[in-house]
Amino acid sequence: MQTDAVPFSAAEYRRRLAKTRKAMEEANLDVLFVEDPSNMAWLTGYDGWSFYVHQGVIVTHDQDPVWWGRNMDANGARRTAWIGEDSIRPYGDQYVQSTELHPMQNLAFLLTEMGFGQARVGVEMENYYFSAKAYTTLVSSMPAATIWDATALVNWQRAIKSDEEITFMRKAARIAEKMVDGAISRARPGLRKNELVASIYHDALMGVGDDWGDYPAIVPMAPSGADASAPHLTWDGNTLKEGEATFFELAGVYRRYHTPFCRTIFLGTPPDDLLRAEAALVEGLEAGLDAARAGNQARDIAAALALPLERAGIVRGARCGYSIGLSYPPDWGERTISLRLADETVLEPGMCFHFMPGIWKPEWGLEITEPILITEDGPAQPFCDRPRKLFVIDD
Domains of the chain: 10-157 (3.40.350.10), 163-393 (3.90.230.10)
Q: Give the whole-angstrom CA distance, residue 63 versus residue 80.
A: 19
pTM, to two decimals = 0.96
Secondary structure of 98-129 in HEC code, one letter for each residue: CCCCCHHHHHHHHHHHCCCCCCEEEECCCCCC
Burial 226-243 (b: 16+ CB within 10 A, else e): ebbeebeeebeeeebeee
Q: Give the whole-angstrom CA distance, residue 299 versus residue 347.
A: 10
Closest CA to 259 of 337, 321, 199, 171: 171
Burial 147-171 (b: 16+ CB within 10 A, else e): bbebbbbbbbbbbbbbeebbebbbb
Res. 318 pLDDT band, cuts 50 70 90: confident
State pLDDT tens for residues 23-76.
999 999 999 999 999 999 999 999 999 999 999 999 999 999 999 999 999 999
3-state DSSP call for residue 201?
Answer: helix
Q: Give 223's contacts (C-beta < 8 A, 6+ positions apart).
A: 230, 233, 234, 235, 246, 247, 365
Q: Which residues pair with 254 in a beta bridge?
A: 257
Q: Give the whole-angstrom CA distance, residue 257 versus residue 32.
A: 24
State pLDDT tens for residues 292-313.
999 999 999 999 999 999 999 9
CB atoms within 10 A of CB 111: 24
Q: Give the whole-angstrom CA distance, residue 234 versus residue 232.
A: 6
Q: Give the whole-angstrom CA distance, residue 103 versus residue 111.
A: 12
Residue 179 contacts residue 200 (beta carbons within 8 Å) = yes
Residue scoring higher pLDDT (1 or 131): 131
Burial of residue 42 (number of CB atoms within 10 Å: 0-12, 13-18, 19+): buried
Res. 3 pLDDT band, cuts 50 70 90: very low
Q: Give the whole-angstrom CA distance, residue 249 versus residue 3.
A: 35
